[in-house]
């Protein structure tokens, strides 16, 4: 499933040069974005970057100040929320507290004037879908947080919208339940064949669930890509720093030929990379490398192209992996991580030991923006 790579794939949701201003504040700035049918799409960004505003414009709660939003080729301008084939899932506290689970799910269907036997059938389907058949007669306060979340979900898909919008859907859940529910949401999306657009500030959540992620900053989209691309091939310092942990070295490109370059990062640190792309000699760039691409050892590795000496600043054993902070002699602190799967002995390194960090010339990316 990768319609974004198919030049013939039909766009489903299109934001075309959309701007939204509140007074003289620009919340969304000339933003263009295409989402495909059945895609699980995430809008990821820090608080205030405009992601909710984007979602609310798609739902019809706000109209763009400029630009257009199309759904399946149709311009949505002027179409009220209830006539759009789009539904918004609100957090579980938006459930009606005095109504049973089944009545909560049936509410929108009744409002639409659906016939009673059809409502009963649909509610039954929805209860089965979210595995709450035996809780039909309970009220929200008699459910756990996760169960309430599933009722909210069942209610929002009962009307069979084509697009489901989810604004921080799992914000109220604790970490473990959040993770479980992320997988449930993915399964449900597959089962229903809907297009999901989720807003989140939690990068792990976006990475876990989404087919593609749009990373937003100050009302603009910085990059749209699959989770793997966002992590492995960030297009800018902002994206590299926003998603996952990263080590950044600012420096000047010393020489380069066909993607290979040396970067002079100052203080005697020279980084040799094969991933300089077309960065020009003399250009100021950032070299970004993920912690798991960095090896830590007590002796200088004989064959390493890049090896820098420092001191163990701290070591954290996290079960699945160990995280090292190594303070280089120039004061720069590097984060490195190693999976523990293959480890059979105690770590020979300890705090304040001299240590070497090393990495391969193909291990990082060079960012010009
Ligand atoms: P959060 O995660 O905190 O909800 P967000 O990225 O979803 O953040 P938005 O809710 O889209 O951000 O808001 C973007 C900016 O627009 C914010 O600075 C917000 O204060 C402003 N804003 C949103 N709605 C309005 C409004 N109705 N009137 C004035 N300013 C608004």
> What is the tens place of the pLDDT at every residue in 178-188?
888 888 889 88
pLDDT of residue 324: 95
Distance CA 79, CA 75 (A): 9
Residues in the chain: 369
Residues 41 and 180 reside in one and the same domain? yes
Burial class of residue 199, CB neighbours in 10 A (0-12, 13-18, 19+): buried
pLDDT of residue 277: 82
Q: What are phi and psi of 4, to 5 degrees?
A: -65, -20
**Bridge partners for 209 per DSSP:** none
**pTM higher than 0.95:** no
Residues 194 and 277 reside in one and the same domain? no
Which residue has a Cα nearest atom 18 of ligand 1? 48
Ligand 1 atom index nearest CA of 23: 29
Residues 339 and 194 reside in one and the same domain? no
Domain that holds residue 324: 247-367
Distance CA 4, CA 118 (A): 37
Domain boundary among 238, 262, 284: 238
Average pLDDT, the chain: 90
Residues 188 and 171 reside in one and the same domain? yes
Domain boundary among 197, 212, 238: 238
Ligand 1 atom index nearest CA of 53: 11
Give me ligand 1 centre to Cα 168, in Å: 14
Give me ligand 1 centre to Cα 221, in Å: 15
Of 16-20, 35-39, 176-180, 253-257, give the lowest mean pLDDT range.
253-257
Residues 271 and 217 reside in one and the same domain? no
Return the best residue to mutate from 15, 26, 45, 50 for the ligand 1 pocket (most ligand atoms within 8 A of CB): 50
Which residue has a Cα nearest atom 17 of ligand 1? 48
Residues 358 and 316 reside in one and the same domain? yes
Domain boundary among 209, 238, 267: 238
Of 96-105, 212-221, 264-273, give the lowest mean pLDDT range.
264-273
Maximum mean pLDDT: which of 50-64, 129-143, 255-269, 332-346: 50-64
Give me ligand 1 centre to Cα 52, in Å: 7
Residues 232 and 256 reside in one and the same domain? no
Query: What single-letter DSSP state applies at residue 98?
Result: T
Q: Nearest-5° angle of CA 233, CA 238, CA 241?
A: 75
Distance CA 215, CA 212 (A): 10
Ligand 1 atom index nearest CA of 219: 14
Residues 310 and 362 reside in one and the same domain? yes
The complex scores an ipTM of 0.92
CATH number at residue 156: 3.40.50.300
Long-range contacts of 94-98 (CB under 8 A, 24+ apart): 94/152, 95/140, 95/148, 95/151, 95/152, 95/155, 96/140, 97/139, 97/140, 97/141, 98/139
Give me ligand 1 centre to Cα 47, in Å: 8
CATH number at residue 254: 2.40.50.140
Domain count for the chain, please give it. Answer: 2
- In the predicted model, is pLDDT for residue 173 greater than 80? no
Tell me which residues have their CB closer than 6 angstroms to ligand 1.
22, 25, 27, 45, 47-53, 201
DSSP-H helix ranges across 96-174 = 101-111, 116-129, 145-157
């Amino acid at each position: 499933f990768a319609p974004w790579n198919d030049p013939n794939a039909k766009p489903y949701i299109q934001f075309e040069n959309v701007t939204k201003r509140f007074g003289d504040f620009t919340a969304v700035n000339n933003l263009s974005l295409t989402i495909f049918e059945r895609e699980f799409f995430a809008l990821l960004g820090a608080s205030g970057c405009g992601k909710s505003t984007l979602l609310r414009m798609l739902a019809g709660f706000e109209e763009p100040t400029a630009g257009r939003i199309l759904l399946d080729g149709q311009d949505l301008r002027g179409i009220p929320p209830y006539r759009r084939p789009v539904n918004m899932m609100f957090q579980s506290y938006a459930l009606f507290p005095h109504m049973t689970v089944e009545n909560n799910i049936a509410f929108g269907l009744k409002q639409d004037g659906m016939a009673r036997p059809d409502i009963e059938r649909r509610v039954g389907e929805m209860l089965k879908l979210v595995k709450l058949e035996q809780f039909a007669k309970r009220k929200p306060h008699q459910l756990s947080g996760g169960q309430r979340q599933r009722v909210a979900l069942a209610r929002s898909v009962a009307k069979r919208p084509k697009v489901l919008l989810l604004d921080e859907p799992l914000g109220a859940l604790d970490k473990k339940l959040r993770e479980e529910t992320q997988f449930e949401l993915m399964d449900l999306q597959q089962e229903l064949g809907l297009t999901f657009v989720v807003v989140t500030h939690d990068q792990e959540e976006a990475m876990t669930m989404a087919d593609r992620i749009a990373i937003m900053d100050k009302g603009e989209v910085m990059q749209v890509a699959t989770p793997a691309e966002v992590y492995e091939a960030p297009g800018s310092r902002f994206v590299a720093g926003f998603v996952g942990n990263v080590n950044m070295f600012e420096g000047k490109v010393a020489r380069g030929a066909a993607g290979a370059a040396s970067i002079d990062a100052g203080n005697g640190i020279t980084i040799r990379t094969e991933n300089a792309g077309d960065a020009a000699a003399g250009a100021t760039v950032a070299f970004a490398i993920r912690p798991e691409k960095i090896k830590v050892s007590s002796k200088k590795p004989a064959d390493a192209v890049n090896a820098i000496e420092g001191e163990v600043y701290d070591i954290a054993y996290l079960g699945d992996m160990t995280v090292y902070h190594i303070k280089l002699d120039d004061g720069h602190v590097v984060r490195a991580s190693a999976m523990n799967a293959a480890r059979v002995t105690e770590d020979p390194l300890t705090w304040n030991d001299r240590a070497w960090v090393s990495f391969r010339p193909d291990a990082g990316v060079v960012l010009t923006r």
